[in-house]
Amino acid sequence: MVKFTINHAFFLTCFGVQTSFSTDPCEFGVLCLALEKHNELRSLHSDTPCMTMTAELNQDAQSWADTASQDYNAHLGYMQSVDKHQGENVAFYWKPWNNVDEEAWIRESIEEVTQNWYNEGANYVYETGRSAGRHFAQVVWDESVKLGVGWALSDCDEWANCKRIVIVARYLEKGNYGWSRDPELSQFVVHIQVVFFLKFHVKRVEFSGQI
C-alpha cells in the first residue's frame, strides 16, 4: 500500500492540533486523499481543528461501503453509524465503463467527494445556522476530529458497461445535529465556524446573546 505523505504546510493553519502531528505521514494509502481534503477545507474556518484518520473508523466505513455497494437503498437508513454514535457522509458516482482507468477514477472520486460535500454550504448563513447542506456541516463540524473512509466498486444495476462507486466517511465526534430555527438554540451556529475572510464581517449569535 502506498503511503501518502501529506504536505504539512496547511496543517499548521488548523487550530487545536499539536505541531508534531503536522509532519506525520498518513499511512492509509489512497484514503489519505480524503483526509488531506478534509483538513484543507477545515483550515479555511477559524477555530476548527484538523482531523486524524483512524483504522477503526476506516474499518467501519469500509464495512458500510461494502454493504451499500450491493444494496443501493441500504445507505438510506445508515443505522450502523447511529448505533456507533458516529457521523456519516455517503456519496455514489456512476460512470460508463469503456476503457476507463479504474485506479485513476477511484482516486479522482475520493479527491472530489469531500469538495462536493463542502460545496453544499455555499449558501450557509453563519449567523443563523440556516441553509447548511448536511454533508457540508459534517465536514467542518469543529468537534469532529477523527475520520474514517471506505469505498467499494460494483456494477450498475440499471445499465450495462457501467460501474458505480460508493464512498463512505465516518466521523467522531458526530456532527450535523441540533439544527433549530432559533439561532440561540442551534448547534450549527455553535459548531460551524466562520471562514477567515468572513470572521470580521459576520455578527455571530452565541448562547449568551449577540456579540
C-alpha cell at 125: 448563513
Q: What are the backbone angles phi and psi of residue 10, rounded to the nearest 5°? A: -75, -20
Say how far apart CA 21 and CA 3 lie, in whole Å. Answer: 16
pLDDT digits (tens, 9 = 90+) for 67-97: 988 876 665 555 555 667 899 999 999 888 8
Q: Which residue has the higher pLDDT, 203 or 39?
A: 39
Say how far apart CA 96 and CA 75 lie, in whole Å. Answer: 23
The candidate with the shortest Cα–Cα distance to 143, out of 198, 113, 188, 81, is 188
In order of 31, 44, 108, 144, 150, the CA distances from 168 in angstroms are 11, 23, 15, 15, 5
Least confident of 67-76, 117-126, 179-188: 67-76
pTM of the predicted protein model? 0.81
The candidate with the shortest Cα–Cα distance to 147, out of 59, 73, 54, 41, is 54
Residue-wise burial string across 119-133, b where 16 or more C-beta atoms lie within 10 A, e elsewhere: ebbeebebebbbebb
pLDDT of residue 14: 66
What value does the mean pLDDT take over residues 130-157? 92
Q: Which residue has the higher pLDDT, 59 or 77?
A: 59
What value does the mean pLDDT take over residues 26-53? 94
Using pLDDT thresholds of 50, 70 and 90, give the confidence band for residue 15. low
- Average pLDDT, whole number, for the chain? 80
